Chain A
Amino acid sequence: MAEAAAPAVSRGEAGLIPLAVEALGFVAGGKQILADISFTLSDRSCTVILGPNGAGKSVLLRLLHGLLAPTGGSIRWGRLTPAQARRRQGMVFQHPVMLRRSALANLRHTLAVRKTPRSQRHGLAANALAMAGLETHAHQPARTLSGGEQQRLAIARAWMLAPEVLLLDEPTSNLDPAATGAIERLVAEVKAHGTRIIMTTHDIGQARRLASDVLFLHQGQLLEHTAAAHFFAGPATRAADSFIRGELLT
């Protein structure tokens, strides 16, 4: 409760941060996916939700973005309503949704849907293409881009709207190291522009490289929430310790 009244760290006096999640639960098809998740995110710059497959990471991200409704507990982004909050966030899905049009038209579509003034659309789209390193692919059908290129386009597309918070769901799953490196550099650049990152991954190396703090999720429970350095130096739970050492968690 106290966090909600704390001064907002993001742009303007009514930002998304702090994010306060309390006793969050989610049940689907009679199965408890998430149970009793509570945490507060204030000013750390890149939160990584870490955990093995099936831990509930993607569901947590969708709940935070308002695509799913909690079956218990609450999520509060600053003092904003869920609808206001979503407009200030960008979301990139694990399998990025590429419209059946060119890379450039994908960007233009997003700007048009968000009613960006026409005079600004060209510049914003061009910037986003450059940021994704896809200038030469502007007119290529987006769905024929490689997996890494699609992911970069999706990140640039979300970033183009200047979100306060960017949510990324497993942005590098199924990508080779070179493509993964390109995505991580892009995420770092987005972060450098002042956008707060919340991302999921099951890749420990990636979490080490990007995280400022870690939420460790296992079997729908939040086991740890600590600064990254602290987490990797000595996790407090046995499950996290096993996970970091590369053992299989079941």
Chain B
Amino acid sequence: MNDFSAAFAMAAQLVLSLDPELVEIVLLSLYVSLSSVALAALFGLPLGASIGMLRFPGRRAVIVMMNALMGLPPVVVGLVVYMLLSRAGPLGEFGLLFTPTAMIIAQFILVAPIVSALSRQVVEDLHEEYGEHLRSLDAGPLDSIATLLWDGRFRLLTAVLAGFGRAIAEVGAVLIVGGNILHHTRVMTTTIALETSKGNLALALALGMILIVLAAAVNATANILAGRAERQHG
């Protein structure tokens, strides 16, 4: 119990004094996760919207697979990306292993299915309502997708934030492909794992607190936005 209070005190001090090492780790975490989520949104929103809107043979199977991919184990994704990027791997020549870019790639693979699957559901529901109107206007597929994405924007933002929650909290994939190198690829989750094993609980706890605050803030934002959209647009 004493450990706890001492660690808490040190953690609070690290946070309040904006300890440079702590700040660096938090910023890198945000950079990696925001980048992977932005890419996943660019890829997953149009993909999810297309699958939500269009009818084609094998659609059911694609949806089942997309939903299954939401539960990909991060360590397995890390392992596969590691093998692809390692010197002997097919993408070895780019020298990306143990760089933030490798971490972004791994998190992209984890987040893209979440954004795609959730936005597929949002767009499909909306298309149920808008479909006849869009057909009546003779709207082409691109206009229809744009309409559905814009009108689903608040719920889609929730899907993207769910992806961010997954990315920022994930440890297995970034540990394997990033290597947890100080000042280079060390992010909040890998630091927490490392410092805990070293017995340096203060830094681990400080990062843990920040991580929880970030996750809570993301959730609160999603809730507020969804609520506001509900009130504004019915």
Contacts and interface: CB of A to CB of B under 8 A. Distances in A.
A107 to B, nearest CB: 12
A86 B135 CA distance: 9
A121 interface: no
B130 A101 contact: no
B136 to A, nearest CB: 4
B151 interface: yes
B135 A101 contact: no
B144 to A, nearest CB: 9
Question: Which has the most chain A C-beta neighbours within 10 Å: B137, B143, B233?
Answer: B137
Interface string B215-234: 00000000000000100111
Contact of A99 (B143, B147, B229): B147
A122 interface: no
Contacts of A113: 134, 137-139, 143, 147
Contact of A100 (B133, B135, B138, B151): B151
B3 interface: no
A174 interface: no
A93 interface: yes
Contacts, number: 46
A217 B227 CA distance: 45
Interface in B193-234: 229, 232-234
A191 to B, nearest CB: 20
Contacts of B134: 113
A76 interface: no
B234 A141 contact: yes
A99 B132 contact: no
A91 B233 contact: no
A141 B136 contact: no
A97 B139 contact: no
Contact of B234 (A93, A110, A144): A144
A185 interface: no
A203 to B, nearest CB: 23
B136 A67 contact: yes
Contact of A83 (B130, B138, B229): B138
Interface in A46-68: 62, 65, 67
A79 interface: no
A110 B46 CA distance: 21
B234 A86 contact: no
A113 B138 CA distance: 8
Given A141-B232, A143-B234, A144-B234, A99 B139 contact: no
Interface of A: 62, 65, 67, 83, 86-87, 90-91, 93, 97, 99-101, 109-110, 112-114, 141, 143-144
Interface of B: 129-130, 132-139, 143, 147, 150-151, 229, 232-234
